[in-house]
Amino acid sequence: MTTYVWDYRAEYEAERLDLLDAVETVFNSGQLVLGASVRGFETEFAAYHGAGYCVGVDNGTNAIKLGLQALGVGPGDEVITVSNTAAPTVVAIDGTGATPVFVDVRADDFLMDTSQVAAAITERTKCLLPVHLYGQCVDMAPLKELADQHGLSILEDCAQAHGARQGDTIAGTTGEVAAFSFYPTKVLGAYGDGGATITSDESVAKRLQRLRYYGMDERYYTLETPAHNSRLDEMQAEILRRKLGRLDTYLAGRWAVAQRYEEGLAGTGLELPRTVPGNSHVYYVYVVRHPRRDDIIERLKAYDIQLNISYPWPVHTMTGFAHLGYAAGSLPVTEALATEIFSLPMYPSLSEDLQDKVIHAVREVLASL
């Protein structure tokens, strides 16, 4: 039987009655779009972060896109981010008409190298977009300082970092806006698509509410374009409300899995994830690194263990982003990583038996190299 890199079915089995009750609650509610469940989830998700407002949207990509638009980002503007991210980060920037500008990542933790940001700022720069990649926060203090100095806004891509912390600060509360995805694999996942933005700026929140709803206000009157239909679905919102109450339990489950890998894979020569001091890592994915990555993956095929690569292609090397003009070699750390990283199975309900199977297989393969 295949061991999957992510599998929600054991969790569903455990939560089935509650989740089916969530569906039943919405079906009986009499309001199937933007009703009590979306409002309830928004209130509770904002409160979890100590943020003023949450605006639910249809997915994480649109959370970023609408978040940028609510901050006034559009054609002619530049947004500084990383190429070592999921493509949707950059698709969302591109979708506003703004130009993504990349800095490289650090070789030890694969996060935005904030020391490169100052040199990337031009008079067209409008926003800094750090990605809290794999589940831990980018160093926010230097970004905040630069943003204040240059009058820029910050949008945090928190699609992989629900509940992650940097010191006492929870991911998503340093910038003006944070964008979350509830794609099923995420640390807080729906049973389908979903996303949200949080902010403590009332006028930005109001703008987000309009942007997801044809640009309209309460009067059914469109105030601004370009606008969207990007509503969070009522049923996903009710499921997310139930699961938000268990988020801290999911995080504990992920920490236990990470701890077991750390002990089981010590001394094998495989480079394990490094947590930056002061960060609390939520391990959305468990990314390891080895110069013979491709040989390892090939040999692991015999053990029927599914592995992922997050991500095999740096965004700036993709055909769809060739127009940005980044030549091969322009982001050397990002490009080197893409050939050496892979992800081991990671989800809170991963059983110890299955995990031990993975650890045993990886140890055997590494010893055989």
Ligand X SMILES: *Cc1c(COP(=O)(O)O)cnc(C)c1O
- Which residues are known catalytic residues? 186
Q: Which of 160, 236, 280, 343 binds ligand X (CB under 6 A)?
A: 160
Total residues contacting ligand X by CB under 6 A comes to: 15
* Smaller CB separation from ligand X, 204 or 285: 285
Sheet (strand 165-166) strand order: 169-170, 165-166, 279-280
* Smaller CB separation from ligand X, 65 or 207: 65
**Piece of the chain touching ligand X by CB under 6 A; list 28-36, 115-123, 155-163, 239-247:** 155-163
Distance between CA atoms of residues 341 and 255, nearest Å: 20
**Piece of the chain touching ligand X by CB under 6 A; list 14-22, 95-103, 157-165, 244-252:** 157-165
Site for ligand X in 187-216 (CB under 6 A): 193, 195
**Closest-CA residue to 200 (of 74, 55, 35, 62):** 55
Smallest distance, ligand X to C-beta of residue 67, A? 11
Distance of CA 185 to the CA centre of its chain: 10
Q: Which of 56, 88, 95, 100 binds ligand X (CB under 6 A)?
A: 88
Render the burial of 40-76: b for 16+ CB within 10 Å, e for the rest. Answer: ebbeebbebbebebbbbbbbbbbbbbbbbbbbebeee
**Residue 147, both tokens:** 């943003």
- 174 is an interface residue for ligand X by CB under 6 A: no
Site for ligand X in 37-66 (CB under 6 A): 59-61
Would you call 153 helix, strand, or coil by DSSP? strand
Smallest distance, ligand X to C-beta of residue 129, A? 10
- 236 is an interface residue for ligand X by CB under 6 A: no
* Smaller CB separation from ligand X, 183 or 342: 183
**Residue 126, both tokens:** 């409008």
Distance between CA atoms of residues 85 and 338, nearest Å: 11
- 159 is an interface residue for ligand X by CB under 6 A: yes
Distance between CA atoms of residues 261 and 257, nearest Å: 6
Smallest distance, ligand X to C-beta of residue 52, A? 23
Where do we find the tokens 């495989």? 270
Site of interaction with ligand X (CB under 6 A): 59-61, 85-86, 88-89, 131, 157, 159-160, 181, 183, 193, 195
